[in-house]
Every structure is written in structure tokens, then in C-alpha cells.
């Protein structure tokens, strides 16, 4: 496989429940978790995917070897990063992982690498630019649980309206875009230098940095929809930009 080297973060750290452990096997330990759709989508877009475990102190060295970066979904972001007290419905968070991914993002931006930020990744992108988050849209915005679908990630459950004249519109065709939804946090105050590029009933669904060739965040899980041309275009755009800047 050839193509630009695209790093994919792994935000989820889990301790597996082993009901019937193998005799003499290693004890349960924290494990990385990343949906297989992420590397598959990057490869479908023409890139060479590589999964990035949280080394925590090697961000610049790692990014120096990459051509592009995908910030994947995962747990809630620690609200201390944007100077908000924790909400009662704040979910589990990993401050050390937050710090690692912010360091990766900072290094990627300093090197001018293209970035595709997905779900939690988009929220982290907004925080990195000085923005804030709704910690629980179900209660803070009284939206209920409509943004956590029960259907599989390959199924679309609502529409977003893409703004004309944006990088997102150029990639996806703009207009109304059908997406999936698995989140309870969202962009509140927009980070400095970012532009909102898609909305759903007032909720921010996509953002980008118009001053850069490719720094795009989407609230939906585009990797699970990569078989749809408009969603695959996000990964193709990431890889194409990586190829020209490598």
C-alpha cells in the first residue's frame, strides 16, 4: 500500500472484563480501542493509516513522520481545558490523553499538516483554538437524547445544512447532508479563527479553519459512512492535501 502516512489517534482506553480468562494468561490491563472503520476509511481515501497510541511526550517526533492527522472520536474532554466547571452529566474523561492529543494537534498545525477531526476530535479542535463546549446537550440545550442514535454507525439518522463557500461544501457538494450521530457534547463558543460550516437546528455540526488548506472538523462519524461518496470525499481531501504538502 502506498500513499501519504496518516496518523489516527486512539482516545479510548478500556479495561476488558474477562469472564473466562485463559489459564496463565496475562492479567487484565488497560487497552486501546479504535473502530476499524477509521483506518479502512483512510485507506479508501488513498492514505496509509497508522494508529497512534498515547505516548504523551513524543508528539513532535511522531508528527514529524506524518503527512496528515485524524483526530478520532472517544470520551468526553476535561472541561478544565476550557476553564469550565464539570457538569453533573460529564462522562468519563482522560486528562493525560487530552494533553497528548492537543500536543499532536499543535505539532500538526505548526507543520502545516492537514487535519480531519471527527466527533470528539472536532470538539478538541475547537478547544485548541480557544473555544468551549456544551458538556451535555441533552440537558443544557434540552435536546433530549436525539443525537445518540440507536442505529448502527453506517446508518444516517438526521440531516445537517452545509454552508456554501466552505471547504466542506466543496468536498461534499454542500446543501443538505445526511449524517449519523453519537454525541452528547458539542461546540458552544467557537474557537478564534474557526468558521462554522454546518448546523442542525442551531447546533454546530462542522467547523474549519479557512486560513489553512485542510483543517476540518465534523461532529458526525464520517468514518462509518465512508461508503457514501460525500463522506469518503473528506478522507480523499485529507489525503490529497497530505500528498501535496508532503
Measure the CA–CA gap between 211 and 215, rounded to whole angstroms. Answer: 9
The residue from 94, 101, 208, 223 that is catalytic is 223
Q: Distances in Å between the alpha carbon of 124 and those of 24, 70, 148, 192? A: 40, 12, 19, 13
94 catalytic residue (yes or no): no
223 catalytic residue (yes or no): yes
Query: Residues, the chain, total?
Result: 246
The residue from 12, 94, 101, 119 that is catalytic is 119
Q: Distances in Å between the alpha carbon of 69 and those of 25, 77, 214? A: 35, 19, 10
Mind spelling out the 3-state secondary structure of the chain? CCCCEEEEECCEEECCCCCCCCCCCCCCCCEEECCCHHHHHHHHCCCEEEEECCCCCCHHHHHCCCCEEEECCCCECCHHHHCCCCCCCCCCECHHHHHHHHHHHHHHHHCCCCEEEECHHHHHHHHHCCCCEECCHHHHCCCCCCCECCCCCCCCCEEEEECCCCHHHHHHCCEEEEECCECCCEECCCCCCCEEEEEECCEEEEEECCCCCCEEEECCCHHHHCCCHHHHHHHHHHHHHHHHHC
110 catalytic residue (yes or no): no
Q: Could you give the residue numbers annotated as active site?
A: 119, 221, 223
Amino acid at each position: 500500500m502506498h500513499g501519504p502516512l496518516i496518523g489516527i489517534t486512539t482516545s479510548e482506553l478500556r479495561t476488558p472484563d474477562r469472564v473466562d480468562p485463559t489459564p496463565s494468561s496475562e492479567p487484565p490491563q488497560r487497552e486501546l480501542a479504535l473502530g476499524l472503520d477509521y483506518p479502512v476509511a483512510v485507506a479508501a481515501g488513498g492514505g496509509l493509516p497508522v494508529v497512534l497510541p498515547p505516548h504523551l511526550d513524543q508528539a513532535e517526533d511522531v508528527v514529524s513522520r506524518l503527512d496528515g492527522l485524524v483526530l478520532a472520536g472517544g470520551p468526553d474532554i476535561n472541561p478544565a481545558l476550557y476553564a469550565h466547571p464539570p457538569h453533573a452529566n460529564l462522562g468519563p474523561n482522560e486528562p493525560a490523553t487530552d494533553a497528548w492529543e492537543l500536543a499532536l494537534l499543535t505539532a500538526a498545525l505548526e507543520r502545516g499538516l492537514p487535519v480531519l477531526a471527527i466527533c470528539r476530535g472536532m470538539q478538541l479542535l475547537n478547544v485548541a483554538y480557544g473555544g468551549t463546549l456544551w458538556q451535555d446537550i441533552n440537558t443544557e440545550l434540552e435536546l433530549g437524547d436525539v443525537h445518540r442514535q440507536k442505529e448502527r454507525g453506517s446508518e444516517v439518522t438526521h440531516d445537517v445544512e452545509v454552508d456554501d463557500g466552505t471547504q466542506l461544501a466543496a468536498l461534499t457538494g454542500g446543501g443538505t447532508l445526511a449524517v449519523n450521530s453519537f454525541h452528547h457534547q458539542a461546540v458552544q463558543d467557537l474557537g478564534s479563527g474557526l468558521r462554522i460550516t454546518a448546523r442542525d437546528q442551531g447546533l454546530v455540526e462542522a467547523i474549519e479553519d479557512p486560513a489553512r488548506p485542510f483543517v476540518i472538523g465534523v461532529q458526525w462519524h464520517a468514518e462509518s459512512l465512508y461508503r457514501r461518496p460525500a463522506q469518503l470525499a473528506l478522507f480523499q481531501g485529507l489525503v490529497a492535501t497530505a500528498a501535496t504538502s508532503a
